[in-house]
Every structure is written in structure tokens, then in C-alpha cells.
Amino acid sequence: MTVPAPTISSEEADARAGLVRWGRSLFERGLTPGSSGNMSVRLADGFLFTPTNSCLGFLEAGRLSRLDADGRHVAGDAPTKELPLHFAFYEARPSARAVVHLHSTHATALSCLADTDPEDAIPPVTPYVVMRVGKVPVLPYVRPGSADIAPLIRERAAAHPAVLLGNHGPVVAGTSLEAAVFAMEELEETARLVMLTRGMKVRLLGAADVADLDATFRLKG
């Protein structure tokens, strides 16, 4: 059931417009098909979520799900069933202002492979994956929407702004919606490189290079 939206602040209006804009961009570039994927933004007094079963390419600003600071649905369409994974990231990372979860092809493929390193699914093949994403652990499979994912995310999210949900896909938190989207794009593009070069002799960045990038560009989101 859709709940009528109250008068909104300029912060909320900007966040609504951003979710519509970035949702359309991600969908049109094939980064999350059909009604898959969900996004959220933390506001000063609550949260905005994409609605359940919505297509990110056709979001409507006025129908986005508005939740209060305690996570209660107060306006808009019913929110995504993936609330537990979003709230777990917000709890573990106080600086996070947005969370993006997609079913992007290559990152999801890595989440399905039995030999993907569970501690670091995305090896340091480029400096930008280190700068924008860091190490990406793979979490055990949990049914989509289950609250069982929350403790698994809380355990890893404080040290990792991105994770792969086993057999499901990537989740990224950022200090803004734009930052989360950019990090998600970097994760997917690097996952694509990893899949393209599987079985080849790949030259990874050295430990000293990774340490230098981490010290210089340490992620805060």
C-alpha cells in the first residue's frame, strides 16, 4: 500500500532525484536487470529506499519508500525486502550515507564461483579497485530478504565498504549515493577484468603498492 508523502526538505528532494537519476543510469547500462537491485540513502531524520519489486530504470521520486529514523515505513510504496542488509551497513559504518545492491553480471558471477577467495574476491589488478573498493569479502549464501544476513554484514562491514553476497551479488556503501555508485561501478568493472583473465598469468599490484594506495586513499565510506 502506498502511504501519502508529507512535505519534504531540500535534502530529501535532492536524495529522491539522485535515486531516480542513478537508478536509471545503472539500469540503462545493464548493471542490474529487471526488478533486481535496490538502493537507499540515509537522511538527517530517516531513510529513503527503492520500493519492493521496482525496476531501478523506472523509479518515481514520489513513490520512493520513506522510513523514519527507527526504520518504520512512513510514506511512499512498501520498501525493498532487503532492509536488513542496508541497515546492517548503516549500523556498522556510521559515515555511510548510501547503500547500493545490484545483481551486476561479473560481480555476481564471482559470488557464485567455488574458488573465489572468500577474504578478497577482487584481487588488486588495478589501483582504482584498491582506492575505491578495497578488499571485498564473500559472505555465505542467505535467502534474499532474510534478517540472517545482518550479523554477517555487521561482522565485516566496519572494515569493508563492499561485500559479495554468496550466490547473490555485490553490496557497496559510500559517503554519498554518487560515491557508492562509483565504487559499485569500479567493483563490477574489475570483476569483469578478473573473469576475462581467469586462467591467465596476471600481474597483480604488489603489497607495497597496495599499502601506499590504502594509506593515501583509505576509504571512509
Cβ neighbours around 10 below 10 Å, total? 7
Residue 4 within a domain: no
Domain that holds residue 39: 10-217
Put residue 136 in one of left, alpha, beta given phi > 0 → left and psi -120 to 50 → alpha: beta
- Catalytic (active site) residue 82: yes
User: How far is the C-alpha of 126 from the C-alpha of 186, rounded, in Å?
Assistant: 10
pLDDT one-digit tens code per residue, 91-135: 999 999 999 999 999 999 999 999 999 999 999 999 999 999 999
Average pLDDT, integer, range 146-155? 97
Average pLDDT, integer, range 161-178? 97
pLDDT of res. 8: 83
| Selected catalytic residue, list 128, 155, 178, 189 | 128
Residue 1 within a domain: no
User: How far is the C-alpha of 80 from the C-alpha of 99, rounded, in Å?
Assistant: 13
Residue 155 within a domain: yes
pLDDT of res. 6: 60
Residue 155: pLDDT band with limits 50, 70, 90: very high
pLDDT one-digit tens code per residue, 193-212: 999 999 899 999 999 999 99
Q: CATH no. for residue 25?
A: 3.40.225.10
Residue 5 has pLDDT above 60, yes or no: no
| Selected catalytic residue, list 82, 185, 186, 188 | 82
Residue 195 within a domain: yes
Number of domains comprising the chain: 1
